[in-house]
Amino acid sequence: MDRVLITGGAGFIGSNVALKLIAKGYEVTVLDSLSEQIHGVNPEETSPLYRNVKDKVNFIKGDVNSREDWMKALEGVSYVIHLAAETGTGQSMYEIKKYVDTNIGGTALLLDILTNTKHSVKRVVVAESRAIYGEGKYRCLKCGDVYPLERKDEDMQKGDFECKCPKCGGPVELVATTEDSAIHPSSVYGIAKQVQGQLVHLVCKSIGVESVSFRYQNVYGPGQSLSNPYTGILSIFSTRIKNGNGLNIFEDGKETRDFVYIDDIVDATILGMEVPEANGHVFNIGTGVATDVLTVAQTLCEKYGIQVPIVVSGNYRLGDIRHNYADITLARNILGFEPKWDFSAGIGEFCKWVDGQAVQKDNYDASIAEMKAKGLYK
């Protein structure tokens, strides 16, 4: 059976993809640096995700910025699923070099090796992100389909959070973001994800290796880090609720995201690796449904049976987007992908899992203080 290299294979998505591939009979190599922000100081104890996979895969603790580590990891590999990345959108706005080095630099190094050395790789699958669409796709009654620019600080200060038509300045209506939507990321993370996808498709084509990329929406589910305060709104809220701390809902609470359950992401990713017709394509993966953040907060409190104060504060973070949900027609048509979990079913599973976990230390206030100090939090 073919060997698959999963970079970031100790992480949330990667570890779940690894377990599914093993169940399907593949051999799996994982290259992961066991980043402390994700796995804690002593991964053997602090990282259940790592523990889930470490004995089932050929585990290489290493860095995507190291040529030597890549060379070791690529031995005998037919497919590369490149997921290793720095993943905090807000954090990327001040840790700029780290985000560019790991996300773009790591991908560049992989492609450099595939181009200049002998290897057995047939296809590279890479994670982009919905972040590359920035504010996403909208419709203006006068101007048709439009792609609003980043929202203005002066509007948000007045509590006006909605996107405006970039052509006439008028009101716009949210529509599903298709893959051919304008690409205009509003964070360093988004820029790096865009470039990762572009590099993989361009270079792989030129050397006769197949390529597939995914723009995942907001992924959630059992196993996601409950201690990383930089990413994953469901985790951040859950950890606050379990500590009895109130929730500060940004903006007016009506901002939305397309929350997609981990099992659906795993299925889509493996289809992207296996389906021959996927070659050369970019796929959105989400549920195609938008859920607002206030509803998320209220649902979590209900499910945990813990009522903490929920304050819709009007605070906001530069780089955050207002709304988004994916058009997943292409993944349906080419991959045969169909999400099996809607938000209410998925959040139920997630909360059941959180209920069985030790309550994590709530580091959220410190992460907000960090953003405030950099002028990125208002």
> Applying CB under 6 A, which residues contact ligand NAD?
8, 10-14, 31-35, 38-39, 63-65, 83-87, 102, 106, 127, 129, 216, 218-219
Q: Bridge partners of 31? A: 7, 60
165 binds, among ligand NAD, Zn ion, none (CB under 5 to 8 A by kind): Zn ion
Contact 225, 133 (CB under 8 A): no
13 binds, among Zn ion, ligand NAD, none (CB under 5 to 8 A by kind): ligand NAD
> Shortest distance, CB of residue 73 to ligand NAD, whole angstroms?
10
**Is the CB of 71 or the CB of 168 nearer to Zn ion?**
168
Nearest distance in Å: CB 144, Zn ion: 8
Minimum distance between the CB of residue 136 and Zn ion, rounded to whole angstroms? 16
Residue 4 interacts with, from ligand NAD, Zn ion, none (CB under 5-8 Å by kind): none
| Smallest distance from ligand NAD to CB 101, Å | 8
Q: Which two tokens stand for residue 330?
A: 């292409």
168 forms part of the interface with Zn ion (CB under 5 A): yes
How many residues touch Zn ion under the rule CB under 5 A: the total is: 7
* Interface residue with Zn ion, options 28, 64, 93, 140 (CB under 5 A): 140
Nearest-CA neighbor of 214 among 176, 260, 153, 171? 260
368 binds, among ligand NAD, Zn ion, none (CB under 5 to 8 A by kind): none
Question: Closest separation between CB of residue 74 and ligand NAD, Å?
Answer: 14
Q: Does 205 bind Zn ion (CB under 5 A)?
A: no
Interaction between residue 207 and Zn ion (CB under 5 A): no
| 167 near Zn ion (CB under 5 A) | yes
The helix (H) or strand (E) run that includes residue 175 is none
Binding at 84: pick from ligand NAD, Zn ion, none (beta carbon under 5-8 Å per type) = ligand NAD
* Residue 216 DSSP SS3: strand
219 binds, among Zn ion, ligand NAD, none (CB under 5 to 8 A by kind): ligand NAD
Query: Is the Cβ of residue 170 or residue 375 nearer to Zn ion in the bound state?
Result: 170
The nearest distance, CB 171 to Zn ion, in angstroms, is: 9
Which of ligand NAD, Zn ion, none is residue 168 near (CB under 5 to 8 Å by kind)? Answer: Zn ion
HEC profile of the chain: CCEEEEECCCCHHHHHHHHHHHHCCCEEEEEECCCHHHHCCCHHHHCHHHHHHCCCCEEEECCCCCHHHHHHHCCCCCEEEECCCCCCCCHHHCCHHHHHHHHHHHHHHHHHHHHHCCCCCCEEEEECCHHHHCCCCEEECCCEEECCCCCCHHHHHCCCCCCECCCCCCECEECCECCCCCCCCCCHHHHHHHHHHHHHHHHHHHHCCEEEEEEECEEECCCCCCCCCCCCHHHHHHHHHHCCCCEEECCCCCCEECEEEHHHHHHHHHHHHHCHHHCCCEEEECCCCCEEHHHHHHHHHHHHCCCCCEEECCCCECCCCCCCCECCHHHHHHHCCCCCCCHHHHHHHHHHHHHCCCCCCCCHHHHHHHHHHCCCEC
The distance of closest approach from Cβ of residue 152 to ligand NAD in the complex, given in angstroms and rounded to an integer, is 26
Which of 17, 38, 125, 165 binds Zn ion (CB under 5 A)? It is 165
Rounded to the nearest whole angstrom, what is the least distance from the CB of residue 84 to ligand NAD in the complex? 4
Contacting residue, 142, 340, 352, 372, with Zn ion by CB under 5 A: 142
Q: Which does 8 bind (CB under 5 to 8 A by kind): Zn ion, ligand NAD, none?
A: ligand NAD
Task: Using CB under 5 A, list all residues that contact Zn ion.
Answer: 140, 142-143, 165, 167-168, 170
